[in-house]
Structure 1
Amino acid sequence: MSEVKSIREAFAEASSFLSRSGCNEPQRSAQLLLEHVLGLSGAAYYMALADPFPAAVKEAFEAGVTRRGAGEPVQYIIGEQEFYGRPFEVTPDVLIPRPETELLVEAILRYGAELWPDGVVTPGEAALDSAGGAGDVRAARPLAAVDIGAGSGAISVTLAAEAPAWRVCAGDISPAALAVAERNALRNGTAVDFRLGDLLEPFAGMETDILVSNPPYIPGEDIAGLQREVRDHEPRTALDGGADGLDPYRRMMEQLTLLPAPPRLIGFELGFGQAEQVAALLAAAGHWTEIITINDLAGIPRHVLGITR
């Protein structure tokens, strides 16, 4: 970096370098890196643009810009990504939370509140359990929501924060990912029951009312063609969904037998062109009276939900 005089000049030079390096959103990346080294955000950052660029942060800023120019996601460089208005630590052990996943959380919260307005499950309505009913003397319990493939904890921590009456659990096959999720739960003041294991296996025998997952859904042969930020830096185990990208959905449908009864609300995030197939998997299972598809902000079918009212 040349001897820039102001923060604005540092931003302009970094943006230009990142653009020439082929980075996505070079200006946004430059701003995030600047905010990180300066310890500023929002209005405070914009008000400081005319200020002299501090020599004390030059080395750290240059190192961050160089890493970004080589294709490393800016979120891994600064170690953070916002999700649903909350800060989440991210490392190369976890997938970077995407804005479209906020729509899945929003849908789960909305339909969950419709099904259980006070967040409590009474005997006879647990999941799709028909064992209860008249004369059932079991006590009411908090609604149980399970997130499969916790990653950074973006889904589970947000559910726990937005619906504190719920009992929220989350599982992941990666111990390193669970460690990140646990730190994010603590950081955001939530209580989440994290469990290590493959898909639904850690929750065998657990009454589950809501099941939500953003599993790996990229077809294995397509990973080589992904953007370098994703292909070279995000964990492959969080990306590779098998030959057609649908293996995790099929396996979760098979593993529903591990639960005492299927959940009354299930929600999946999925990839481009997969909505019809995932909806068909849920319909074939025969557990839900409604199958709903939700588009993302670009109009792409991104989430499929199964609901029994």
Structure 2
Amino acid sequence: MSEVKSIREAFAEASSFLSRSGCNEPQRSAQLLLEHVLGVSGAAYYMALADPFPAAVKEAFEAEVTRRGAGEPVQYIIGEQEFYGRPFEVTPDVLIPRPETELLVEAILRYGAELWPDGIVTPGEAALDSAGGAGDVRAARPLTAVDIGAGSGAISVTLAAEAPAWRVCAGDISPAALAVAERNALRNGTAVDFRLGDLLEPFAGMETDILVSNPPYIPGEDIAGLQREVRDHEPRTALDGGADGLDPYRRMMEQLTLLPAPPRLIGFELGFGQAEQVAALLAAAGHWTEIITINDLAGIPRHVLGITR
């Protein structure tokens, strides 16, 4: 970096470098990196643009800009990503939370509140048994929501924060990912029961009212063609959904037999062009009276929900 005189000049030079390096959103990346090294954000950042660029942070800023120019996601560099208005630690052990996943959380909260207005499951309101009748529930209990593939904890921690009456559990096959999720739960003042294991296996025998998951859904052969930020830096185990990207969904449908009864509300995030197939999997299971598809902000079918009212 040349001898820039102001923070605004540092921003301009970094943005130009990142653009030439082929980074997406170079200006946004430059701003986030500047905010990180300066320790400011929002209005304070904009008010500081005319200030002299501090020599004390020049080396750190150059190192971060270089990493971003090589394709490393800015969220991993600064170690944080906002989700549903809350800060979440992110490391290369977890996927970076995406804005479209907020729509899944929003839908689960909305339909969960409709089914259980006070967050309590009473006798006769439990998950449905395989015959479609009421499960054998002998006492009222908190609604139980289970997040499969916890990652950073974005879904489970947000559910626990937004619906404190719920019992929220989350599982992941990666010990390193669970460690990040546990730190995020603590950071955001929530209580989540985290469990290590493959998909539904850690929750065998647990009464589950809501099941939600943003599983790996990229077809294995498509991973090589992803953006370098994703392909080279985000964990492959959280991306690779098998030959057609649908393996985790099929396996979760098979593993529903591990639960005392299927959940009354189930919600999945999915990839481009997969909505019809995932909806068909839920319909074939025969446990839900409604199958709903939700579009993301770009109009792409992004989430499929199964609901029994």
TM-score tier by shorter-chain length is over 0.9
User: Deviation at 1:139?
Assistant: 1.6
Task: Assess if the C-alpha contact under 8 Å between 1:294 and 1:301 holds in 2.
Answer: yes
Question: In structure 2, do the counterparts of structure 1 residues 136 and 68 end up closer, same or farther at CA, with 3 Å as the change threshold?
Answer: closer
Counterpart Cα distance in 1 of 2:174 and 2:219: 20
Say which SS state the counterpart of residue 137 (structure 2) adopts: coil
Counterpart Cα distance in 1 of 2:104 and 2:138: 32
Question: In structure 2, do the counterparts of structure 1 residues 136 and 23 end up closer, same or farther at CA, with 3 Å as the change threshold?
Answer: closer
Report percent identity of matched pairs: 99
Counterpart Cα distance in 1 of 2:35 and 2:134: 60
User: Deviation at 1:123?
Assistant: 1.2
Counterpart Cα distance in 1 of 2:134 and 2:13: 71
Q: Deviations over 1:177-228 (max 9, x none)?
A: 0000000000000000000000000000000000000000000000000000
Counterpart Cα distance in 1 of 2:256 and 2:133: 22
The answer for unaligned runs of 5 or more in structure 2 is none
Question: In structure 2, do the counterparts of structure 1 residues 134 and 265 end up closer, same or farther at CA, with 3 Å as the change threshold?
Answer: closer
User: Deviation at 1:131?
Assistant: 9.6
Task: Assess if the C-alpha contact under 8 Å between 2:122 and 2:137 holds in 1.
Answer: no
Q: After TM superposition, what 4+ stretches of structure 1 lie above 6 angstroms from structure 2?
A: 130-137
Counterpart Cα distance in 2 of 1:110 and 1:9: 46
- Mean CA deviation greater in 141-150 or 127-136: 127-136
Question: In structure 2, do the counterparts of structure 1 residues 298 and 282 end up closer, same or farther at CA, with 3 Å as the change threshold?
Answer: same
- Mean CA deviation greater in 5-14 or 124-133: 124-133
Counterpart Cα distance in 2 of 1:137 and 1:289: 21
Task: Assess if the C-alpha contact under 8 Å between 1:123 and 1:138 holds in 2.
Answer: yes
User: Deviation at 1:124?
Assistant: 1.7
User: Deviation at 1:126?
Assistant: 1.1
Question: In structure 2, do the counterparts of structure 1 residues 134 and 271 end up closer, same or farther at CA, with 3 Å as the change threshold?
Answer: closer
Counterpart Cα distance in 2 of 1:207 and 1:20: 53
Question: In structure 2, do the counterparts of structure 1 residues 198 and 136 end up closer, same or farther at CA, with 3 Å as the change threshold?
Answer: closer
- Mean CA deviation greater in 122-131 or 29-38: 122-131
Task: Assess if the C-alpha contact under 8 Å between 2:149 and 2:173 holds in 1.
Answer: yes
Counterpart Cα distance in 2 of 1:200 and 1:307: 19
User: Deviation at 1:130?
Assistant: 8.1
Question: In structure 2, do the counterparts of structure 1 residues 239 and 135 end up closer, same or farther at CA, with 3 Å as the change threshold?
Answer: closer
Task: Assess if the C-alpha contact under 8 Å between 1:127 and 1:207 holds in 2.
Answer: yes
Say which SS state the counterpart of residue 198 (structure 1) adopts: coil
User: Deviation at 1:134?
Assistant: 9.8
Structure 2 length as normaliser, TM-score? 0.98
Task: Assess if the C-alpha contact under 8 Å between 1:123 and 1:133 holds in 2.
Answer: no
Q: Deviations over 1:252-300 (max 9, x none)?
A: 0000000000000000000000000000000000000000000000000
Question: In structure 2, do the counterparts of structure 1 residues 10 and 135 end up closer, same or farther at CA, with 3 Å as the change threshold?
Answer: closer
User: Deviation at 1:141?
Assistant: 0.2
- The count of corresponding residues between Structure 1 and Structure 2 is 309
Say which SS state the counterpart of residue 194 (structure 1) adopts: strand
Counterpart Cα distance in 1 of 2:246 and 2:87: 30
Task: Assess if the C-alpha contact under 8 Å between 2:125 and 2:134 holds in 1.
Answer: no
Say which SS state the counterpart of residue 176 (structure 1) adopts: helix
What is aligned with 2:167?
A: 167
User: Deviation at 1:129?
Assistant: 3.8
Counterpart Cα distance in 2 of 1:290 and 1:207: 21
Question: In structure 2, do the counterparts of structure 1 residues 225 and 130 end up closer, same or farther at CA, with 3 Å as the change threshold?
Answer: closer
Question: In structure 2, do the counterparts of structure 1 residues 134 and 232 end up closer, same or farther at CA, with 3 Å as the change threshold?
Answer: closer
Task: Assess if the C-alpha contact under 8 Å between 1:125 and 1:132 holds in 2.
Answer: no
Say which SS state the counterpart of residue 72 (structure 2) adopts: coil
What is aligned with 2:134?
A: 134
Task: Assess if the C-alpha contact under 8 Å between 2:172 and 2:196 holds in 1.
Answer: yes
The answer for unaligned runs of 5 or more in structure 1 is none
User: Deviation at 1:125?
Assistant: 1.4
Q: Deviations over 1:80-116 (max 9, x none)?
A: 0000000000000000000000000000000000000
In the alignment, structure 1 residue 201 sits paired with structure 2 residue 218: no
Counterpart Cα distance in 1 of 2:131 and 2:282: 23
| Alignment RMSD | 1.6
Task: Assess if the C-alpha contact under 8 Å between 2:127 and 2:134 holds in 1.
Answer: no
Task: Assess if the C-alpha contact under 8 Å between 1:124 and 1:131 holds in 2.
Answer: no
Counterpart Cα distance in 2 of 1:134 and 1:221: 43
Structure 1 length as normaliser, TM-score? 0.98
Question: In structure 2, do the counterparts of structure 1 residues 132 and 255 end up closer, same or farther at CA, with 3 Å as the change threshold?
Answer: closer
Say which SS state the counterpart of residue 291 (structure 2) adopts: strand
Question: In structure 2, do the counterparts of structure 1 residues 136 and 233 end up closer, same or farther at CA, with 3 Å as the change threshold?
Answer: closer
Counterpart Cα distance in 2 of 1:61 and 1:184: 26
Q: Deviations over 1:217-245 (max 9, x none)?
A: 00000000000000000000000000000
Counterpart Cα distance in 2 of 1:19 and 1:25: 8
